[in-house]
Structure 1
Amino acid sequence: MARILIVDDAKFMRLTLSNILQKGEHHVVGEAENGTQAVEMFEAEQPDLVTMDITMPELNGLDAMKKILSNNPKAKIVMCSAMGQQKMVVEAIEAGAKDFIVKPFDESRVLEAINRVLG
């Protein structure tokens, strides 16, 4: 059972993802609503994987991911993007994201991506 940190500024999205992950028998160790919180919670929880929204207040997902990876090069981060954010997704993958999932979330696609990244 993987320990997963969910990062999204929308509570509804965090809830949706949390439900999908729990159905897939993963354990949600925390939820962050911005990049600053995400970095702090990653350090505190050391999760196996992070789902990271790209567009957030304070510190966006791309910058939060870079901060996490600079301290934890082996961190596994899956970006969450809305349609039309392809450029950001490409940038995220180049910067170290392991995969991405697109909103609105498709349960089987989410679990497939998470399980693949977890190996």
Structure 2
Amino acid sequence: MTALHEAAPAKVNLYLHVVGRRDDGYHLLDSLAVFPPVGDLLRAAPAATLSLAVDGPFGAALAAESDNLVLRAARALAGQAGVVPRAGLVLTKNLPVASGIGGGSAD
């Protein structure tokens, strides 16, 4: 396997309206979102175990702990694929943490 690089773009909701509720309890939304040409970057390379390092201008504000969304997603993907998660992940945080511009959900 070769190293992978994937952009995780910012998402800005220009408007977001709750227009109802589904039978399962989730809300129905009407939204207009744009994706500016900035975002985080996620890199993955083969490794003996699953690990995460966080760098970038906003990296210090985010811990690479076991409950990090990137690690949770990697473990879930490996579980669905029936494989042991073995990747060295590096998340370059170019978007501010908890700023509401979609960095965490995109990562």
Could you say which TM-score interval applies, normalised by the shorter chain?
under 0.3
Greater RCO (CA < 8 Å, at least 6 residues apart): 2
Query: Going by fraction, where is strand more abundant, 1 or 2?
Result: 2
Q: TM-score, normalised by structure 2?
A: 0.25
Query: Going by fraction, where is helix more abundant, 1 or 2?
Result: 1
